[in-house]
Each structure stands twice: as structure tokens, then as C-alpha cells.
Amino acid sequence: MALNDYTTALVTGASSGIGRAVVERLAARGLRVHAVARRKQRLDSLAKKTGCVPHVIDVRDLDAMRFAFEDEKIDVLVNNAGVGRGHESLMRASDEDIEATLHTNIDSIFNAIRVAAPSMIARDRGHIVNMGSWAGLYGQGSTLYGATKGAVHLLSQNLRLELLGSAIRVTEICPGRVRTEFAEKAFRDTDFAREFNKAFRMLSAEDVADAVMYALDTPWHVNVTIVELCGVEQATGGVQVKRGARRGSSPSARR
């Protein structure tokens, strides 16, 4: 099955950024789109613009997700909900930041898959798109956020194996920096967040939505397993070295 054969989609984290852009793209293609987020006013605005079906739900709440979607026949699931709280340092992150990032970035994906995938399996049709990140593929200095996106990467790989033999496709989208609300919510230092968003010409939410649509639009026998994309002024790789204050001393000499 390809996008033209699908009729219904579910997008999480739909009230802004990448999720909103994906809802707009899917609705423009004629799909009935269920848009899930926590901000009612923004969802209502999106529904007015696109005709999507708004759902004010915390994606971390499995019971709420089941109540809303267990009887729906979802063809396309886009797991976009995510946060980056505690991004600067695991050691300085609050308990609340750690809990929010772990549960939003990991639990929400499991919840949505557990709700949407059984119907896909029963009908032998569907496409699951998980929003990963460069941070889940390469070390970038954010222990907490990188770990959650690394979990998304292995989840996608293993889910593809679990569904092997069916017509259900699994795609992971891994962008570098994207100009969204991410920075202002991830960093406590507002000045740093502002500079983070101005560092270079980053991807837009629409750029990432284009990658999602590319994966959905391929013929039924093609599974775009992973898409990496970044701004042309960004790259990853190399080795970093930073010597400590006691240069040249061995661990035993420090005791």
C-alpha cells in the first residue's frame, strides 16, 4: 500500500512544528487526519485550517489513547511527539525534566503503536513513521535526549523485524537541527535558546514534513527505512579531545 491507498492518519505532537506541518500535508492529500496534542487552542486552529480531527490528549496516557483510537482503522501513524527537557546536562537535569523527556519521547511511541498497529496487522496495511533524530544516531553531548532518540532508533529497527512478512512499513526520520519551538522548551537559558536557533540556516518543519511525505509516497514494495537530513551548514562526525585540569597525571596519581 502507498499513500494514495490510505484513508486515515494519526499524528502525535500535532499542535506545532513538524507535527503541524505533517498534518497539513496529509490533509491536503485527502486523508482524514487525527491530530493529537495537549494544546487545545492550537489544535482547534489547525482543525479550522485543515479539517483534521483534533484530540486533546497526553500521549503518555495509554488509557486515553486507547479510548480515543482503539476502534479506529489507522493507516498512517506518525509518532512525532517529543521534548528535549534536561538537554544541557543529565547531572543538572531535574527529576521532572528527566521523567518528562523519558515518558514523552519513549512511552508515547509505544502507546501509539500499541493502539494503532493491531488494526494495521489485521488488515495487512499501514505505515508507521517514527520521528528520530541525529542525536539518536551520533553522540552529540546530550545524554538524556540522545538516549531517548537512540531508543527510537532501535525500536524502529526491531519493529521492522517484528512486522516482517506483512505489508506494514516502518520509517525513521532523523533530522539534524530544525527551527521549531524545541530550543525554547529544552533550554532554561533563554539567551542560549535564542542563539541556538540563530546559529545557522537550519531545517524548517516543512523540510522534515517533505521527508515524511517522500517515505509515505513510495510504492508499496519500497520501505524507506531511515532518512537522515540536515541543513547544508551542519555536519556530524570527528573526534573531540578535552584534557582535564590535571594534565598528564594518571588515575593512581590523583588518589
Query: How confident is the model at residue 142, as a pLDDT?
Result: 85
Query: How confident is the model at residue 234, as a pLDDT?
Result: 79
* Rounded Cα distance, 148 and 144, in Å: 6
Query: How confident is the model at residue 153, as a pLDDT?
Result: 97
For residue 79, the cross-strand partners are 130
Give catalytic status of residue 145 as yes or no: yes
Say how far residue 55 (Cα) sits from the centre of its chain. 18
Residue from 11, 5, 15 nearest 49 by CA: 15
Query: How confident is the model at residue 199, as a pLDDT?
Result: 74
Taking the CA atoms of 212, 213, 215 and 216 in sequence, report the sign of the dihedral they define.
positive
Q: Which of 6, 138, 145, 214 is catalytic?
A: 145
Compute mean pLDDT per 10 residues along the chain, 255 residues long, and list them.
87 95 97 96 96 96 95 97 79 87 93 97 97 89 90 97 96 90 62 68 93 96 96 78 66 51
pTM tops 0.75, yes or no: yes
Domains of the chain as residue ranges with CATH: 3-254 (3.40.50.720)
